[in-house]
Amino acid sequence: MLNIQRIALREIRLPLKEPFRISSGVLSERRICLLELTDADGTTGWSECVAFEQPMYSAETIDTAWLAIREWLAPRVIGHAFEHPSAVFAALSRNICGHNMAKAAVEMGCWEVGARQRKLPLSRMLGGTRDRVPTGISIGIQATPAALAERAKAAYDQGYGKIKVKIQPGADVAFVAAVRETLGSKVHLMADANSAYTLADADHLAKLDAFGLIMIEQPLGRDDLVRHAALQRRLSTPICLDESITGVDQAEDMIALGSGRIVNIKPGRVGGFASSKAIHDVCERAGIPVWCGGMLESGIGRAHNVALASLPNFSLPGDLSPSARYWEQDIVTPEWTMDVDGMVQVPLDGPGIGVTVDLDRVDGLTVRREVIGSAKMATV
Ligand code: OSB
Ligand code: MG
């Protein structure tokens, strides 16, 4: 029985080792909202809200998420009993539109608490079956094709099983060509446009068909399911949708319309684990592969993603790079690592997320804190 009494929100700031550029903007520091949830039985769990500082990827930001959690979402959970965390998403969604990343942070924290109560690894609580998951890397937009090719080569040599390069108009065909030429024809290569194109660019995008990409991710706008279907008919490269898939309904629409052939599931984008699992299941039935995307998470969000990626239909490498790719030092121990075959171990030895939050470090990085819920328990 889940019965959350208290949610402690905090904001930490974590500088990225190097700026990450996508078509809609640059990230150089992550302002991260962390949640620590406490159940009536004393069990605690952690989650991370993946919203960015600016509304560049989706409408949410860390500040809107903080407000949504404090004002509307935490009160739907605190002091309410749930048989199982799978019931939380519906309770958060009744008459509350949008705010998926805020909902996900609360809901995924509930799954972590539920897993700890049952003494289960989060992976197994979710229905995961793998004990290691294949990892890809997402490389930001670089100044020149040669610089990108050099990055891609270094990543391939490290063992990554999939290389994704960010593209935008003016940094696309020549950049992908340089990477393909450097890596050879066998390496799993893909491009992610983060909605930078319109259907008027279809002929231009069709030039990418020459490079044998395993997919092109989110070429058009997030609401462009019909236009993506038109574009897919013009491309031999499979389209993978990211921003467009905000819930299971959009996944069903994508399948019905033929808007894409692969789905990137980010649990934050879709409102949490119940929604992710529903999308996973719908895609599995339709023969659509899924993989787990990333939002430059700290080690806490990464733990949630790795657990999700251990489900059976996550059949392509996820954007699950190890801690050292992003941070000088992560906020969990052990840090996330990848072996020479590009695999990340799913923690199965302990309950919940399976990594320990470095509280001293988190305290040192905290710039804002707010406790919601039981005053009696809110003494720290
Ligand atoms: O579209 O997947 C994306 C990073 C910021 C914004 C959007 C995206 C990304 C990534 C990073 O691709 C993936 C990662 O966490 O390594
Ligand atoms: Mg993407």
Residues flanking ion ligand 2, Cβ below 5 Å: 192, 217, 242
In short, whether 296's Cβ falls inside 6 Å of ligand 1 is yes
Phi-psi region of 187 (alpha: psi -120 to 50; beta: other; left: phi over 0): beta
In short, whether 321's Cβ falls inside 6 Å of ligand 1 is yes
Is the backbone peptide bond immediately before 267 cis, with ω within 30 degrees of 0? no
Is-above-0.85 flag for pTM?
Answer: yes
In short, whether 48's Cβ falls inside 6 Å of ligand 1 is no
Q: How far is CA 184 from CA 100, 108, 174, 179, in A?
A: 39, 40, 15, 8
In 3-state terms the chain splits into helix, strand, coil percentages (rounded to 5) of 40, 25, 35
Nearest CA to ligand 1 atom 9: 295
pLDDT value, residue 376: 54
As given in the structure block, the two tokens for residue 359 are 């509280």
d(CA 90, CA 134): 31
| pLDDT tens-digit readout, 93-122 | 999 999 999 999 999 999 999 999 999 999
Instruction: List the beta bridge partners of residue 147.
Output: none
Instruction: List the beta bridge partners of residue 189.
Output: 163
Which ligand 1 atom sits nearest the alpha carbon of residue 137? 16
The type of residue at 247 is: G
As given in the structure block, the two tokens for residue 155 are 């990543």
Residue 186 appears among annotated catalytic residues: no
d(CA 184, CA 172): 18
d(CA 241, CA 8): 33
Inform me whether the pLDDT recorded for 375 exceeds 80: no
Burial status of residue 193 (CB atoms within 10 A of its CB: 0-12, 13-18, 19 or more): buried
Inform me whether the pLDDT recorded for 380 exceeds 50: no
In short, whether 319's Cβ falls inside 6 Å of ligand 1 is yes
Inform me whether the pLDDT recorded for 187 exceeds 60: yes
Residue 266 appears among annotated catalytic residues: yes
| pLDDT tens-digit readout, 118-168 | 999 999 999 999 999 999 999 999 999 999 999 999 999 999 999 999 999
Ligand 2 center to 24 CA (angstroms): 11
Q: Where would I find the H helices in the chain?
A: 62-68, 74-77, 88-93, 100-117, 122-126, 145-158, 173-183, 202-206, 225-234, 248-257, 267-270, 273-286, 299-309, 323-326, 359-365
- The closest alpha carbon to 54, from 65, 42, 66, 62, belongs to 62
Torsion angle (degrees, nearest 10) of CA 143, 149, 152, 153 = -140
In short, whether 295's Cβ falls inside 6 Å of ligand 1 is yes
SS3 219: coil
Which ligand 1 atom sits nearest the alpha carbon of residue 164? 12
Phi and psi angles of residue 312, each rounded to the nearest 5 degrees, phi first: -60, -35
Can you tell me which residue has the tokens 């640059």? 26
For the chain, what percent of residues have pLDDT higher than 70?
98
* Whether 176 contacts 201, CB under 8 Å: no
